[in-house]
Amino acid sequence: MRKVIFALILGLVSAALSAPARAASPAAGFDGVRAWNELAFNAVRASRASDADAARWYAMLNAAMYDAVNGIIGGHGAPARAHALVAGPGPRDGDPFAAAVTAAHAVLVAVDPARAATYDAQRDADLSRAGAGHRQTAGARWGDEVGRQVVRMRADDGSAPVLSQPAGTGPGVFRAEWSGVQYRDVRPFAVRDPGVFVPGPPPALDSVEYAAAFAEVAVLGDARVPAPDLLATYQYWSVPAGSAQPPGEWLRIALTVGADRGLSLAQGTRMTALVSMASADTTVATVRTKYTYRHWRPTTAIREADTDGNPLTQPNPGWAARAGSVGGTPEWTSGHSSYSGVAATVLAGFFCSDNLRFTHATDTAPGGQARTYPGFSSAAAEAGRSRLFGGQHFAFSDRAGQGIGRGVGDEVLATRLLRLDGPTHVGACPR
């Protein structure tokens, strides 16, 4: 009898070790993805990181979490999927939540060492909730290695040192020096060549199209024209340095919608990896466009319209933008629009629908007041228009930025993190 009992116990242990890995506790799921992204948002806010740096950090964080989880569950009771940056396999008996936690920790400690103690505490608390034992240890060890590999892989991606473009002169040219131009050549996370998404030049200064856009922003973006609703919309989407930045706001939207739909750990890490990698690659195309054409902002254009050679534009030396500033980078094209376009595209593809109602309050929402949108493209359209309301961009730059984002998003959806076996697409929804 003892031999029979011992054999049964041995069989149960063997089955447990060979079974597909699963989350160790209810806490070991999508809530962890949200928590570690929130820590990244806080780091971006506290450090006043640029939109480009923020997008890169978010992509590193979420690609690491995805690869850590995918390396354990891929093919073990779940569809085998392509990796983002670090290929598996991970330990079959590892805990995927523990892997996600330590991967996130390794990335954030590297990019934001000033808050290492906060990340250490979050890691320890998460691993404690995941439970002790071999599964947790194996998962944590694998996740830490994935995170460290991501950091090493991106160490020489071209994001440093910081470079600047000198101030320009003359009609149509952006006047101030601006920094961060090294991002025009940063190695992409997901697309093959960000350069293919760089549009041609903006409308010629003496064209009717330019004159029409000039007239529109001269009215909508004029600080002297009282328009509380336009000002509130501009402020809602402004999210400058000190906020989570535009790519962070769209990740926050993604996390809200993901929680509303009960995404699993695997689904959540895939969603955030797609959104954040696509946003980071959108940075490259956007900065390259700005650097190439360095088009002047509406404030300069309106004040100096007598130099543009267009009989349909009239100078207004006293004109000021509703935003209260000229803008810190060249006008063509709108980065807020490109970030909004790419995130809306990826989220609509991931959820197989653009018409998912959500409520969100940005970091700069006036009075913290949330807004409700019928879908992703609706929010992206408002975000783009807000740049006109603030007098920061012409309408043609909003359209071009949205186009950059859609192009990057379409390529990422069609080529990255797809199933390795069987059909990878169901209709318009990449799988």
CA–CA separation, 343 and 36 (whole Å): 19
Angle between helices 96-111 and 51-73 (to 10 degrees): 150
pLDDT of 23 reads 41
- Residue-wise pLDDT tens digits, 81-92: 999 999 989 999
Q: How sure is the predictor about 75, in pLDDT bands with cuts at 50, 70 and 90?
A: low
What single DSSP character describes residue 311?
Answer: T
Share of the chain above pLDDT 70, in %: 92
Instruction: For residues 94 and 112, give the distance between their C-alpha atoms in angstroms, rounded to a whole number.
Output: 27
pTM score of the predicted model: 0.92
Residue 417 zone, left/alpha/beta (φ > 0; ψ -120 to 50; rest)? left
Confidence of residue 8 (pLDDT cuts 50, 70, 90): very low
- Count the alpha carbons within 13 Å of 415 in the hemisphere toward its beta carbon: 13
CB count within 10 Å of CB 157 equals: 17
Among 66, 380, 368, smallest CA distance to 250 is for: 380
- 164-430 maps to CATH 1.10.606.20: yes
Give the pairing type, strands 429-430 and 425-426. antiparallel
Residue 255 burial (C-beta neighbours within 10 Å; 0-12, 13-18, 19+)? buried
Q: Return the pLDDT at 16.
A: 37
Question: What region, left, alpha or beta, does residue 245 occupy, with left being phi > 0 and alpha being psi -120 to 50 degrees?
Answer: left
Q: How would you label 311-320 residue by residue, b for 16+ Cβ within 10 Å and e otherwise?
A: eebeeeeebb
pLDDT the model gives residue 290 = 98
Give pLDDT tens digits for 158-198: 999 999 999 999 999 999 999 999 999 999 999 999 999 99
Residue 94 DSSP label: S
Measured in degrees and rounded to the nearest 5, phi and psi for residue 263 equal: -65, 145
**pLDDT in the model for residue 12:** 38
Tokens representing 167?
């101030």
Q: Which residues pair with residue 175 across a beta bridge?
A: none
**Which two tokens mark 269?**
């890490």
Phi and psi of 8, rounded to 5°?
-65, -45
Closest CA to 100 of 150, 44, 42: 150
pLDDT at residue number 375? 98
Q: What is the pLDDT of residues 129-151, one digit of tens each?
A: 888 899 999 999 999 999 999 99
Could you give the maximum distance between any two Cα atoms of the chain, in Å?
101
pLDDT at 97: 97
Q: In the prediction, which pLDDT does 7 show?
A: 44
Which token pair is 298? 């509406």
Q: What's the distance, Cα to Cα, between the start and end of the chain in Å?
A: 51
Burial (CB count within 10 angstroms: exposed 0-12, middle 13-18, buried 19+), residue 152:
exposed
Backbone angles phi, psi at 378, to 5 degrees: -65, -45
Size (the chain), residues? 431
Q: CA 186 → CA 56, 191, 333, 412, distances in Å?
A: 10, 12, 18, 17
Contact 130, 97 (CB under 8 A): yes
Residue 178 belongs to what H/E stretch? strand 178-179
Which tokens is 233 given? 């919309």
**CA-CA distances (angstroms) from residue 106 to 31, 111, 228, 254, 420?**
19, 9, 45, 23, 28
The residue with tokens 């709108």 is 334
The fold for domain 17-154 equals Vanadium-containing Chloroperoxidase; domain 1 (1.20.144)
d(CA 75, CA 92): 10
- The structure tokens listed for 99 are 């892997």
d(CA 383, CA 339): 10
**Alpha carbon distance 29, 162 (integer Å):** 37
Burial of 127 (0-12, 13-18, 19+ CB in 10 A): buried
Residue spans per domain, the chain: 17-154, 164-430
Amino acid at the residue 415 = T
Q: What pLDDT, in 10s, does the model give residues 253-299?
A: 999 999 999 999 999 999 999 999 999 999 999 999 999 999 999 99
Q: Is the Cβ–Cβ distance between 399 and 380 less than 8 Å? A: no
The backbone region for 322, taken as left when phi is positive above 0, alpha when psi lies in -120 to 50, beta otherwise, is alpha
How many whole angstroms from its chain centre is CA 299? 29
